[in-house]
Amino acid sequence: MNAHQIDFKIHGDDMQFVEIELDPQESVVAEAGGLMMMEDGISMETIFGDGSQENKGIMGKLFSAGKRLLTGESLFMTVFTNAGQGKRHVSFAAPYPGKIVPLDLSELGGKVVCQKDSFLCAAKGVSVGIELQRKLGTGFFGGEGFIMQKLEGDGLAFVHAGGTIYEKQLQPGELLRIDTGCLVAFTKEVDYDIEFVGGVKTALFGGEGLFFATLRGPGKVWVQSLPFSRLASRVFAAAPQGGGHRTGEGSILGGLGDLFDGD
């Protein structure tokens, strides 16, 4: 195997974190801000890209890191290495309520495509890049799903999604339509595209957006019930605007908020 072989345990229910067990000199890479805690003996290092381009020279590293800018991520990632003698643990927390999904790339064909904000951490050696869709409609109208990350290699990777996670195995030719924000990840065999929602009334008044992600099997798909963008929009819509006073039971906190305000 090219990627480090790590062990893990997922703790919690709706606010989960993943505990990674590292043998001496084993490493895990993660996005900045994902660390929850780590034991003594774990060293931290900031690197370009994901650490999978170490043998490809400085240009390979710069190219790998530069592609991450297209997904809105930092040029840098953090690598956590067990520099001690025995086993050590490092933990990474989910950023909002939901589930952490472990993906063993060696059992999933070596590649999984996922939403650009869902990646949490991975064994060092897993490549974290971008997946640009070839079809014009997907690129222009995909919304949240049009630029996606790809995880490649033979190690473990962890993604996070909101609400409840549904894993579905698509049969050859089987078609599934998903709201673009609810799509978490899919394996490389799945054919992915964007489909326009027909009908003027549906487009203008349906409330579900103008486009669906369409996925055709064979392959495996992961779907989330509560994308963060949907959660954030509901919270924003319910919050008082312009610093105004809450309006009682109809507000996001109602009387409880007034109690904290001293009313």
Residue 247 has pLDDT above 60, yes or no: no
Q: How confident is the model at residue 209 (pLDDT cuts 50, 70, 90)?
A: low
Q: Which two tokens stand for residue 148?
A: 């996606």
| Residue 24 one-letter amino acid | P
Taking CA atoms, 183 is separated from 3, 4, 10, 82, 91, in Å, by 26, 28, 22, 34, 26
Q: Return d(Cα 72, Cα 17) in angstroms, integer.
A: 23
Tell me the percentage of the chain whose pLDDT exceeds 90. 45
SS3 19: strand
Domain extents in the chain: 7-237
Q: Which two tokens stand for residue 170?
A: 């698509």
Contact 100, 156 (CB under 8 A): no
pLDDT in tens, 27-76: 999 987 889 999 999 999 988 776 666 555 555 555 555 555 555 556 67
Q: How confident is the model at residue 91 (pLDDT cuts 50, 70, 90)?
A: very high
What integer pLDDT is reported at residue 45 of this predicted model?
A: 93
pLDDT, the chain, mean: 80
What integer pLDDT is reported at residue 70 of this predicted model?
A: 57
Longest Cα pair distance anywhere in the chain, in angstroms? 65
Which position has the higher pLDDT, 166 or 72? 166
Span of 179-188, 197-206, 245-254 with lowest mean pLDDT: 245-254
pLDDT in tens, 93-107: 988 889 999 999 999
pLDDT in tens, 121-141: 999 999 888 886 655 454 444
Which position has the higher pLDDT, 70 or 177? 177
Which position has the higher pLDDT, 47 or 86? 86
Q: Which two tokens stand for residue 137?
A: 């409609």
Task: Spell out the CATH class of 7-237.
Answer: alpha beta
Q: What is the pTM of this model?
A: 0.80
Q: Return d(Cα 258, Cα 135) in angstroms, integer.
A: 52
What integer pLDDT is reported at residue 256 of this predicted model?
A: 46
Q: Which of 12-21, 230-239, 249-258 has the highest mean pLDDT?
A: 12-21
